[in-house]
Amino acid sequence: MAVYTEVTDEALAAFLTLYNIGGMVAFRGIAEGVENSNYALKTTEGDFILTLYEKRVDPADLPWFLGLMEHLAGRGLSCPLPVRGRDGQNLNPLSGRIAAITTFLPGVWPRRVLVEHCEPLGAALARLHLAGADYAPIRANNLGPESWAPLLQKCAAGSAQIQAGLAEDLAAMLATITAAWPRDLPVGHIHADLFPDNVFFLNGEISGLIDFYFAATDLYAYDIAICLNAWCFERDFSFNVTKSRALLRGYMAHRTLSPAEIAALPVLAQGAAMRFLLTRLYDWVNTPPGALVTRKDPLDYYRRLRFHISASGSSAYGL
């Protein structure tokens, strides 16, 4: 989450007339994240999140994202529910962007991941995969392996300001990863961005999963690999196999991993680290001055990537 596009009180007041959620009481920008402009919105009818979709999001994908969220919520998954306007639409123009309002979920995300967070996270991820299985529309992952080399090219020139020789090093790693990428694993709808700040906990239990705007139809095990990267490294970038084992145990309590999925975990984890390294690198180089946004250090994922490359099979992840 972030704020790139400012919304005036007058524009918001006019926008809210399209919905049956009352009048504005409070409104503030949310600075965390890097993708869309997000605001916490309180009206006379309750609390909501207002999202304005920025340039990286293809407007043609928005009905798929919101439809998936409605589908998952209808299957009992705790995720934001898009609010439909008086005319039944859940997308409307605001301040030069397409915007949506979703329900607010209670809880807080874990600023420091503990082992006890990981098993519930794995279980929630598996439930998400199962709940989405009968959502018929599909969406290709536009940040999948085919996108990584072009993305690296776009930020290679600026990468030297972060680390000398980084682009060349990443190019060599990327060639190895894409050559080994699995193509025949189980596929379905994945979250693709289930970082700790997208998972809310309340009273020790998960109260909500948010930010589905990278969701896509892709390998289920790749979604697990993303979570291994996001949840199982310590602040010194050492890998915590106890957290990994708990995460995988929680997942497999609901959905069994095939032998092929287990065997592919190291390369999938490499790819997941590469994907987030490259998008962080791109944002580091290209974030406009003055944007209310928190840039994230791409080298954090370079260190993760090096661990996965050195991993000796799936046993490195506690299996």
Distance CA 70, CA 169 (A): 42
Q: What is the pLDDT of residues 4-18, one digit of tens each?
A: 788 999 999 999 999
Q: What is the pLDDT of residues 49-70, one digit of tens each?
A: 999 998 778 899 999 999 999 9
**Residue bearing the bigger pLDDT, 107 or 289:** 107
**Residue bearing the bigger pLDDT, 87 or 156:** 87
CA distance to 57, 109, 175, 281, 314, per residue, from 238 (Å): 33, 22, 25, 21, 17
Q: What is the pLDDT of residues 263-302, one digit of tens each?
A: 999 999 999 999 999 999 998 888 766 655 567 899 999 9
Q: What is the pLDDT of residues 144-190, one digit of tens each?
A: 999 999 999 999 888 888 999 999 999 999 999 999 999 999 999 99
Backbone phi, psi, residue 23, to 5°: -95, 165
Instruction: Look at residue 54 and give its three-state secondary structure.
Output: coil
Specify burial of residue 310 (Cβ count, 10 A radius: 0-12, 13-18, 19+): exposed
Domain 9-103: what homologous superfamily?
Phosphorylase Kinase; domain 1 (3.30.200.20)
25 CA to centre of own chain: 29
The band of 134, judged by pLDDT with boundaries at 50, 70 and 90, is very high
Q: Scanning the structure block, which residue is given the tokens 């439930």?
A: 127
Q: What is the mean pLDDT of residues 36-50?
A: 95
Question: What CATH architecture is 115-317?
Answer: Alpha-Beta Complex (3.90)
Decide: 218 and 141 in contact? Cβ < 8 Å: yes
Distance CA 317, CA 311 (A): 9
Domains of the chain, residue spans: 9-103, 115-317
47 CA to centre of own chain: 22
Dmax (CA) of the chain: 58
Closest CA to 35 of 247, 220, 279, 218: 279
**Residue bearing the bigger pLDDT, 107 or 160:** 107
Residue 221's pLDDT is what? 98
Instruction: Look at residue 190 and give its three-state secondary structure.
Output: strand
Instruction: Look at residue 15 and give its three-state secondary structure.
Output: helix
